[in-house]
Structure 1
């Protein structure tokens, strides 16, 4: 019964926290193999210990995330550029209208002022949009921690032996439940 020495770090609910396999303190972090054959609770501090495990860095995932972030940045810059171009066009139109509008009455000027106020109100949510995109990048910063680990040989061998012992104990229990395991009572006279 062997399994790969690749463990993925997962979090469970605080209510489901159990004792760490190393120090026996309550922990909500779990290391689990990809095929779910082995798992155990571990403190996050142990994951940073170079004597316990080493992080496995997935270069393809890092490159894909950087590419995705770059594309998001490009889209954000394009939107900002388009907004600035619209604002420029609006300013040019206003200047042309003002040049033509000197002949307009005072009522028309008040309507233009109302339109300008509405434009300013619409611009406020647009300015808060970059902060939203900044908030979307903060979870990516949380994901900077490595999620895949490889245990050191001593700890991995300990996990293997623990699984073997559990398998042997299970087989022994099943064998003892079989009625043919024990000798039968003699039926004849001695």
Structure 2
């Protein structure tokens, strides 16, 4: 029986939490083999411990994350440039309006109030957008696949072997053919 040293991290609900195998504190993190033969609960702090396990990093996944980050940065830069161009256009229009409005001062008071209202609204919208971006739940970037270090891996193998041995012994005790038979010869 070979148990691969590949463990996938799964999360369970808070109501289904059980004691961590190492420190016995309630935990919702479970390490499980891909074939579902073995699993155990462990704390997220132990997953970061280098002497317990090490993450298995998928190169393709890392490349995809980097590409997504670069794309997001590029989109953000394009948005900023566009906003700056729009602001410059608005400033030009405002200057032209001010030149026209200098002739008529009554209109100037009204447009300045409108401009102040527009600026206040834009600042308000920008703050709201920034808060929404900060409030968005961030994806869990922690690794999902781990390899146990040799001592802990050997402990898991020994545990599985002892469970198999206990099952075999229980089956032997249930089977009467496995016991020796009574001697049938004459005693003299």
TM-score (norm 1): 0.72
Partner-residue secondary structure (3-state), 2:146: strand
When residues 38 and 89 of structure 1 are mapped into structure 2, their CA distance, relative to the original with a 3 A threshold, is same
Residue 78 of structure 1 pairs with residue 78 of structure 2: yes
Structure-2 separation of matches of 1:109 and 1:148: 65
Please name the residue that 1:115 is paired with. Answer: 114
Instruction: Tell me: CA distance 1:48–1:80, structure 2 relative to 1, closer, same or farther (3 Å).
Output: closer
Q: 1:41 — aligned with what?
A: 41
Q: Give how far 1:89 is off.
A: 0.6
Aligned pair partner of 1:149 in 146, 152, 155: 146
Change (3 A) 1:112 1:4: same
**1-side partners of 2:118 and 2:51: how far apart?**
61
Query: Within 1, Cα distance between the matches of 2:53 and 2:101?
Result: 75
Partner of 2:185: none
Q: Take 2:88 and 2:134, find their aligned partners in 1: how far apart are those partners?
A: 26
Aligned length in residues: 176
Alpha-carbon shift at residue 139 of structure 1 (Å): 2.9
Residues 78 and 102 of structure 1: is their aligned pair in 2 closer, same or farther, counting only changes over 3 Å? same
CA RMSD of aligned residues (A): 3.1
| Mapped partners of 2:68, 2:154: distance in 1 | 39
Q: Distance in 2 between matches of 1:117 and 1:105?
A: 17
Give the gaps of 5 or more residues in structure 1. Answer: 184-190
**Compared with structure 1, are the counterparts of its residues 58 and 111 closer, same or farther at alpha carbon in structure 2 (3 Å cutoff)?**
same
Structure-2 change in CA distance of 1:71 and 1:160 (3 Å): same
Report if aligned partners of 2:18, 2:27 keep a CA contact under 8 Å in 1.
yes
Partner deviation per Cα, 1:98-117 (whole Å, 9 max, x = no partner)? 222333361x3243224312
Query: Residue 90 in 1 paired to residue 90 in 2?
Result: yes
Distance 2:172 2:147 in 1: 35
Q: What is the TM-score normalised by the length of structure 2?
A: 0.73
Gaps of 5+ in 2: 178-188
Q: Are 1:51 and 2:51 an aligned pair? A: yes
How much does 1:83 deviate?
1.2
